[in-house]
Amino acid sequence: MTTWRKLIEYALDSYKQDWGDIVSIAPKDGKWLDYLFDDSYGKIQGESFTVWTKTRVYFPACYDGSEWVESLSRNPDDKATSHIGG
Protein backbone atom coordinates (compact mmCIF):
# COMPACT_ATOMS: atom_id res chain seq x y z
CA MET A 1 0.00 0.00 0.00
CA THR A 2 1.20 3.48 -0.82
CA THR A 3 0.08 7.00 -1.71
CA TRP A 4 0.82 9.23 -4.66
CA ARG A 5 2.55 11.61 -2.22
CA LYS A 6 5.16 8.93 -1.41
CA LEU A 7 5.63 7.89 -5.03
CA ILE A 8 5.86 11.49 -6.27
CA GLU A 9 8.41 12.33 -3.57
CA TYR A 10 10.52 9.37 -4.71
CA ALA A 11 10.25 10.47 -8.35
CA LEU A 12 11.07 14.11 -7.52
CA ASP A 13 14.07 13.01 -5.48
CA SER A 14 15.41 10.92 -8.36
CA TYR A 15 15.77 14.17 -10.34
CA LYS A 16 17.04 16.13 -7.32
CA GLN A 17 13.74 17.99 -6.99
CA ASP A 18 11.29 18.44 -4.12
CA TRP A 19 7.80 19.85 -3.47
CA GLY A 20 9.20 23.38 -3.65
CA ASP A 21 10.02 22.82 -7.33
CA ILE A 22 6.37 22.20 -8.25
CA VAL A 23 4.82 25.02 -10.28
CA SER A 24 1.41 23.40 -10.89
CA ILE A 25 -0.50 20.28 -9.92
CA ALA A 26 -3.78 18.75 -11.11
CA PRO A 27 -6.21 18.03 -9.61
CA LYS A 28 -5.64 21.14 -7.51
CA ASP A 29 -7.43 20.04 -4.32
CA GLY A 30 -4.53 17.71 -3.38
CA LYS A 31 -6.75 15.31 -1.39
CA TRP A 32 -5.82 12.53 -3.79
CA LEU A 33 -2.14 12.77 -2.75
CA ASP A 34 -2.81 10.91 0.50
CA TYR A 35 -5.37 8.32 -0.61
CA LEU A 36 -3.95 4.92 0.26
CA PHE A 37 -3.97 2.44 -2.64
CA ASP A 38 -2.45 -0.87 -3.65
CA ASP A 39 0.19 -0.12 -6.29
CA SER A 40 0.94 -3.78 -7.00
CA TYR A 41 -0.49 -5.86 -9.84
CA GLY A 42 -4.25 -6.03 -10.26
CA LYS A 43 -6.55 -3.17 -11.14
CA ILE A 44 -5.61 0.50 -11.29
CA GLN A 45 -6.51 2.20 -8.01
CA GLY A 46 -4.54 5.47 -7.97
CA GLU A 47 -6.14 8.73 -9.11
CA SER A 48 -5.06 10.39 -12.35
CA PHE A 49 -2.78 13.41 -11.92
CA THR A 50 -0.21 15.66 -13.54
CA VAL A 51 2.57 17.54 -11.73
CA TRP A 52 4.64 20.23 -13.44
CA THR A 53 8.01 21.50 -12.24
CA LYS A 54 10.20 23.99 -14.10
CA THR A 55 12.06 21.12 -15.78
CA ARG A 56 9.81 18.01 -15.71
CA VAL A 57 6.23 16.77 -16.03
CA TYR A 58 5.25 13.88 -13.72
CA PHE A 59 2.29 11.56 -14.33
CA PRO A 60 0.99 8.08 -13.38
CA ALA A 61 2.18 5.02 -15.28
CA CYS A 62 1.04 1.43 -15.04
CA TYR A 63 1.62 -2.06 -16.31
CA ASP A 64 -0.82 -4.87 -15.58
CA GLY A 65 -2.25 -2.81 -12.71
CA SER A 66 1.11 -2.03 -11.08
CA GLU A 67 1.34 1.76 -10.69
CA TRP A 68 4.24 4.19 -10.37
CA VAL A 69 5.24 7.75 -11.29
CA GLU A 70 7.03 8.54 -14.55
CA SER A 71 8.19 11.87 -15.89
CA LEU A 72 9.39 13.56 -19.04
CA SER A 73 11.44 16.66 -19.62
CA ARG A 74 9.24 19.71 -19.79
CA ASN A 75 11.35 21.14 -22.60
CA PRO A 76 13.14 19.61 -25.56
CA ASP A 77 16.40 18.02 -24.38
CA ASP A 78 17.40 15.69 -27.25
CA LYS A 79 16.84 12.61 -25.02
CA ALA A 80 14.70 9.78 -26.37
CA THR A 81 11.89 8.46 -24.18
CA SER A 82 11.78 4.75 -23.37
CA HIS A 83 8.54 2.80 -23.57
CA ILE A 84 6.36 3.50 -20.55
CA GLY A 85 4.07 0.92 -19.02
CA GLY A 86 5.44 -2.21 -20.62
Q: What is the mean pLDDT of each run of 10 residues along the chain (86 residues)?
A: 95 97 95 90 86 96 89 91 80
pLDDT of 86: 66
pLDDT value for 81: 85
Could you please report the per-residue DSSP string of 29-56?
Answer: T-GGGG--B--SSSS--SPP-EEEESSE
Position 47 scores a pLDDT of: 86
Look at residue 11 and give its three-state secondary structure.
helix
* Omega before residue 27 within 30° of 0, cis: yes
Of the candidates 35, 33, 38, 42, the one whose C-alpha atom is nearest the C-alpha of residue 63 is 42
Predicted confidence at residue 45, as pLDDT, reads: 85
